[in-house]
Structure 1
């Protein structure tokens, strides 16, 4: 890196350091100084049944959300990249419109749709399909639905990049050798887009780990995830040391996943 590059990147690096690194160092300090110096809060975070239960629930929900989001995004991206002009326009609208709506608005929209007295349950009861309303929110199901809806567009972009890089000559060669459409898709096309799939998986999983608003609203306090637990420990308990320790553990986990994603992206680009 030349001196010119350093001068150009200097202000940006300084801004990032002030906006992110300094607060994170402050949180790290809390984790080893509150309520008393030492690493006791990390021991509590890694042994307390309540914290471990929340961490396990978070990982489980994030895994389910990642699988559903990437699977749905793969279908949408396939139509977007290889479909006709009309289909592409529809898919582009489906991808872009969610970015115009805030996460809070979307969460309340799902709450209005899925609650016991919401639109879906009301219609099903009026049609005679249900005698009692289904419990679709204030549980993990509602959390998963809201998170998947939010994260699908983010999974589309790495998948689209990977699909557009597929060499059509390879698909034509497979077709010329008598392979069926299904075999070409599963044994040729999907393996050629594995870089995009892994990138989408890591991107969605990292985003899902830090979700707060959607689980808080659609979970109703019954499906607490790590971000909400940190909020409760810092602002309501208050137990700043434990909240800070959990925050550091979460940040280290996210950093490791991002490093893995960058390594995969660089390896795919070679």
Structure 2
């Protein structure tokens, strides 16, 4: 029995109400229904996100009196500038590594079927269901001086004694790339799935090699997914706290750890709020640049 048969009959010429339009299976909702459905979401975002964030940011310009000195400290002190640059550098390295590892896996996920496809999907999704703390702790076990990696290197004769792998910039980048890898793979996979296989076959029939077809057909059409994945990983890496704190050293201090120190140790909430304000400004700027880049890509015919 269909929904139309179950729904109450409407008088001739009558306009269905919002609930009746939903019941009748109409795809479009009225403005009032849309607002009613979205109200709980916006109230939740206002109470648990917008209000606390605005209250925190107000401390940066209102405590102890109206001033911008807290923001001036961020850019005047070379130590804080160094932390910001290091955060951007580590986030960039993490994004590049995630892209190098994630693109081939996303491409393979679009090519395989059956049990292999299920296995690859599980490998991508299962880490999202586990704690970041657990995944970071696993890297500590692997990279410590008595860990598996050092044992393998010594067994192969590559090194004569354990080397320092943990508490380095490389360990921070590697662990962060592993944690954020699903956020790179999923957008690229979604973009690659929307590219018809006929395009690659047509390129081959026209004499293009696999390499040329990849760089001139597949890669340009997947640019939107690549941009999305890079943006998600980079912005997430900018504010990462747990992984750098556990596998990094004071020399790899990032802005999230600096904010934590200002709040917990220095009790300098206004300056911590200023650091958060600067980080938010960077995130907003990058988001707008990304939006412009994707729009330009589509205008020029790029993306799927």
TM-score range normalised by the length of the shorter chain: over 0.9
Matching of residue 143 in structure 1 with residue 172 in structure 2: yes
Pairwise CA RMSD of aligned residues?
Answer: 2.0
Unpaired runs of at least 5, structure 2: 1-29
Q: Write the mapping of 1:222-241 to structure 2, written as runs, cut at 5 A.
A: 222-241=251-270
The answer to which structure has the higher helix fraction is 1
> Are residues 214 and 160 of structure 1, via their aligned partners in 2, closer, same or farther at CA, if it must alter by over 3 Å?
same
Q: 2: distance between equivalents of 1:111 and 1:200?
A: 26
User: CA offsets, 1:115-162, max 9 Å, x none?
Assistant: 122222234335544222221111111100110101111111111111
Unmatched 5+ residue regions in structure 1?
Answer: none
**Displacement after TM superposition at 1:57 (Å):** 0.3
Q: TM-score, normalised by structure 1?
A: 0.93
The aligned residue for residue 209 of structure 2 is 180
Asked which structure has the greater CA Rg, the reply is 2
Look up the match of 1:198: 227
**Range that drifts further, 80-89 or 137-146:** 80-89
Does residue 32 in structure 1 map to residue 61 in structure 2?
yes
Aligned in 2, Cα 1:131/1:34: closer, same or farther, shift over 3 Å? farther
Aligned to 2:245: 216
Partner of 1:165: 194
Contact 2:262–2:271 (CA under 8 A) maintained in structure 1: yes
1:22 aligns with 2:51: yes
Counting only pairs closer than 5 Å after superposition, residues 1-270 of structure 1 correspond to structure 2 as 2-125=31-154, 128-261=157-290, 268=298
Q: Which has the higher contact order (CA 8 A, sep 6+)?
A: 1
